[in-house]
């Protein structure tokens, strides 16, 4: 009995499997038909679009970022980020483009311009020298009436000392003696130093007590001038 029931169940399942195979075949055929239709539509759509021209391709290639630059997608579109060195180079190029180009000149024209500039400067120098000469001539009478004097920013220093040498012409060596009390030990400390003074008429001699006053540099070592002889040597 069991064998008969199995045979009957197998006979019943056979029509179901045949129906399933037929349905899958129909679905496969439908998918192939749709794929063929899409394939037929794709070439027509691509054929309608115009091919890119050579100029557009070249512009796209040139607009690509260089070694020092790169782009970031920010907001609505790509933004170019420029390196500091490239930015400075572009700024210099833009500044140079604004400067008008100088017209080319021949060597003869440049030489003529130099001669003109030299003549102009020479005329200015002549005018300045003539003005200075006229000013000097007008001040000669005033200088003759006024005795020559030395100009100082403040009160000139004066020192009193004793002449220790008068061998040089119009020059005397004066010893300045100084006595001060020591600030800590309260002892009298005596010091002396020598200086060279200008004696225009050779009035002072060795041993004389003289007064000298500070003056402009008269020689390598002379910075003082004889004012008067206070006492003669005995």
Given the DSSP bridges, would you call strands 188-198 and 222-231 parallel, antiparallel or unpaired?
Answer: parallel
Mean pLDDT in residue range 147-160: 76
Number of domains in the chain: 1
Is pLDDT at 38 greater than 60 in this prediction?
yes
The predicted pLDDT at position 48 comes to: 47
Query: pLDDT-derived band of residue 127, with 50, 70 and 90 as boundaries?
Result: very high
Query: pLDDT-derived band of residue 59, with 50, 70 and 90 as boundaries?
Result: very low
Residue 182 belongs to a domain: yes
Query: pLDDT-derived band of residue 78, with 50, 70 and 90 as boundaries?
Result: confident
Domain that residue 177 falls in: 158-231
The predicted pLDDT at position 89 comes to: 94
Residue 72 belongs to a domain: no
Query: pLDDT-derived band of residue 67, with 50, 70 and 90 as boundaries?
Result: very low
Query: pLDDT-derived band of residue 30, with 50, 70 and 90 as boundaries?
Result: confident
Mean pLDDT in residue range 128-148: 71
- What one-character-per-residue DSSP string does the chain give? -HHHHHHHHHHHHHHHHHHHHHHHHHHHHHHHHHHHHHHHHHHHHHHHSPPPPHHHHHHHHHTS--TT-EEEEETTEEEEE--HHHHHHHHHHHHHHHSPPPPP--HHHHHHHHHHHHHHHHHHHHHHHHHHHHHHHHTHHHHHHSPP----SSPPPEEEEEEEE--STTEEEEEEEEEEE-TTT--EEEEEEEEEEE-TT----TT-EEEEEE-S--SSSEEEEEEEEEE---
Q: How far apart are CA 154 and CA 156, in angstroms?
A: 6
Higher pLDDT, 20 or 188: 188
Contact between residue 172 and residue 214 where contact means Cβ atoms under 8 Å apart:
no
The pTM score is 0.37
CATH value at residue 174: 2.40.50.140
Give me the percent of the chain exceeding a pLDDT of 70. Answer: 66
Residue 185 belongs to a domain: yes
Residue 111 belongs to a domain: no
Query: pLDDT-derived band of residue 138, with 50, 70 and 90 as boundaries?
Result: confident
Residue 44 belongs to a domain: no
Residue 20 belongs to a domain: no
Residue 208 belongs to a domain: yes
The predicted pLDDT at position 34 comes to: 79
Residue 96 belongs to a domain: no
Query: pLDDT-derived band of residue 46, with 50, 70 and 90 as boundaries?
Result: very low
The predicted pLDDT at position 151 comes to: 65
Phi, psi of 233 (to 5 degrees): -70, 145
Q: Classify residue 163 as exposed, middle or buried by CB count within 10 Å of its CB (0-12, 13-18, 19+).
A: buried
CB atoms within 10 A of CB 227: 15
């Amino acid at each position: 009995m069991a064998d008969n029931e199995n045979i009957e169940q197998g006979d019943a399942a056979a029509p179901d499997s045949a129906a399933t195979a037929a349905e899958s075949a129909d679905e496969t055929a439908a998918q192939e038909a749709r794929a063929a239709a899409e394939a037929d539509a794709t070439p027509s759509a691509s054929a309608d679009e115009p091919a890119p021209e050579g100029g557009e391709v070249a512009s796209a290639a040139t607009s690509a970022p260089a070694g020092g630059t790169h782009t970031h997608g920010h907001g609505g579109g790509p933004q170019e980020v420029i390196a500091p060195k490239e930015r400075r180079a572009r700024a210099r190029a833009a500044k140079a483009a604004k400067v008008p180009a100088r017209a080319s000149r021949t060597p003869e024209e440049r030489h003529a311009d130099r001669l003109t500039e030299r003549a102009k400067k020479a005329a200015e120098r002549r005018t300045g020298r003539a003005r200075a000469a006229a000013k000097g001539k007008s001040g000669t009478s005033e200088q003759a009436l006024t005795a020559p004097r030395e100009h100082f920013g403040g009160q000139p220093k004066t020192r009193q000392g004793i002449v220790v040498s008068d061998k040089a012409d119009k020059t005397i060596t004066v010893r300045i003696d100084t006595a001060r009390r020591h600030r800590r030990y309260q002892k009298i400390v005596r010091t002396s130093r020598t200086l060279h003074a200008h004696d225009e008429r050779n009035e002072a001699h060795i041993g004389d007590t003289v007064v000298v006053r500070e003056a402009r540099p008269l020689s390598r070592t002379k910075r003082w001038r004889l004012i008067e002889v206070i006492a003669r040597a005995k």
